[in-house]
Amino acid sequence: MSPPSPGDGLKFSRLTEYLGRLEETSSGNDMVQILSELFGEASPGEVDTVVYFVLGEVDAEYRHVVLGMGEKTVMDAIARASGRTREEVQGRFDELGDLGSVAEDLGLEGGETEQGYFAAEEPTVRDVHDGFMDIAEASGSGSQEEKIRILARMMSQEEGAERRYIARIATGTLRLGVGAMTILDGLSVAYVGSKDKRPRLEEAYNLCSDLGLVARTVAEANDEGGGEAALKAVAEIGVEIGRPIKMMLGQRLRRLSDIMEKMSGRAAAEWKYDGERMQCHKDGDEVEIFSRRLDDITSQYPDVAEYVRDRVDADTAIVEGEAMAVDEEGHMEPFQTLMQRKRKYDVEEYVERIPVNLFLFDLLYLDGESWMDRSYPDRRGRLYDVVETGGGVDLTEQIVSESQDEIDEFFERGLNEGTEGVMVKSVKEDSVYRAGAREWLWIKWKRDYMAELADTFDLVVVGALAGKGSRAGTYGALLCAAYNHDEDRFETLCKVGTGFTDEDLEELPGRLGEWETDSVPARVRSEIEPTQWFEPGVVIEVEGAELTRSPVHRVAEEEGKGLALRFPRFLRFREDKSPEQATTSREVRQMYEESRRRGR
């Protein structure tokens, strides 16, 4: 293959030769080499379009340019371009299963669209891109016919392989197996000299969510000053209102008890809401809302856009939060309820039917300045300053603590209020916002992650703590103990606050009333002072995630620390068991030692 003459735009036919080579290999290294050669042939002014086409797109991912052409309309275009009937095209598609292959296979016989769409005899990638954009922009009455006409004329001027890829791009079925990271590797090799600099390009991509922009930036800078200039230029790609930033993600740990070690002894914990994460961009009165997938979901949430417009005191800002469906009393609803808001029609009706609250947790940009390189405490503190809470807007519930037990309690309280867990975040100076990264600066913990112990525990209720929030006026958690057979006493193991139905909570005062006492029972060992003590009498069955050492519980105590059951969950009352038939402290110790051997 010989490269095009200088000054000529890259011919689409030339691009399709590279697409064919990519289609024929599954080797990542080969793909990077092919891409680097392709980018080397493209001019800086067209390399962005080349990147989009390789990905099977016509523009940046977040712009979601919609061609609006399904299989049937592309079949109509192929039929018109080839002079075949729609039935012939359908029959060939039934045989081949790919409209690209159909377009290539049928050939052209002229017909009503014999005149081509392009002015140039050999269309460039820019020419083809312009054609696709004309298709995307066709709207109103007769727009579907116009889309078919444009695509038919585009294909009628091309050869077999070009028609194949035009049809696949039109139907969104290119699928060469090339992803964003492979593209970045190819760009790094082409313009910087090796894959080693890919992370520098990736940082820019995570900020702008536009591979084409990254490609054009490094190509233009390389053209003027080489690889070092390319790296310098790409580092200058910054935050821009209306261009979503890839969202930072949290790491996951097997045990929540390991979090404080990861966080060097102090951290912030936020409730993790079971809603839809949103990145809200404000520019004066204009607000755009992007989802985790970078979809523009503004039209689905006009109420949230209004919240941001009215409650974020800034000319320009980018804030992140979680939208939660709430009932008439403000209680959080399940995620499935919120998903009914994902619609194109009847939006206003569902705004009324399913109201949402927006819980904000981060500030990325404010009045022309990026805040992403500032520490999390600084970002959170400024967020308090610029957000007027109320009217559907609040900040996420948060505590900052050095105590694992406090974070455990915060986690459990959130579950009772309808959250799905916690995000624990570093409060150190380097706790910056790393776009698109999954960092140990954030650690997520959800109940779903719990690798539950194989056995359940029959525990004795020895105390209760008053409820808060939605449980105000009743018991919020039960203090439970295992039985030490050797010493004939009850040693606390955990506080159980989840797993109860509304009916269970209503029954608790009646079940426990006869066992109430004003002081700690003589047979109970506890470092925790509950709201109400109970003589050992009621046994409940509990499941949990793990056993770990704790300074506040007394089972199998060694060097001032006993064993604790983390994330206990109520299963049922064990009316058939007496307190002395409860799980013993020795059994708990054995379970702990076994779990250590299994690596939990």
Catalytic residues: 272
Block residue for tokens 């709207």: 139
DSSP class per residue in 360-401? EEEEEEETTEE-TTS-HHHHHHHHHHHB--BTTEEEPPEEEE
What is the three-class DSSP state of 254? coil
In angstroms, the CA 458 to CA 262 distance is 33
In angstroms, the CA 533 to CA 118 distance is 85
What is the three-class DSSP state of 206? helix
Torsion of CA 432, 438, 442, 447, to 10 degrees: 160
Block residue for tokens 């016989």: 109
Residue 346: other Cβ atoms inside 10 A? 9
In angstroms, the CA 472 to CA 474 distance is 6
Return the half-sphere exposure (C-beta side, CA atoms, 13 A cut-off) of residue 131: 28
Nearest alpha carbon to residue 405 among 571, 565, 252, 560: 565
Torsion of CA 270, 373, 262, 260, to 10 degrees: -40
User: What is the greatest pairwise CA distance in the chain?
Assistant: 98
Return phi, psi of residue 91, to 5°: -65, -40
83 sits in the region (left: phi over 0; alpha: psi -120 to 50; else beta) called: left
Write a three-state SS string for 504-559. Answer: HHHHHHHHHHHHEECCCCCCEECCCCCCEEECCCCEEEEECCEEEEECCCCEEEEC
Distances (CA, A) of 187 to 4, 234, 235, 308, 434: 20, 12, 15, 38, 22
Q: Is residue 372 within 8 Å of 239, Cβ to Cβ? A: yes
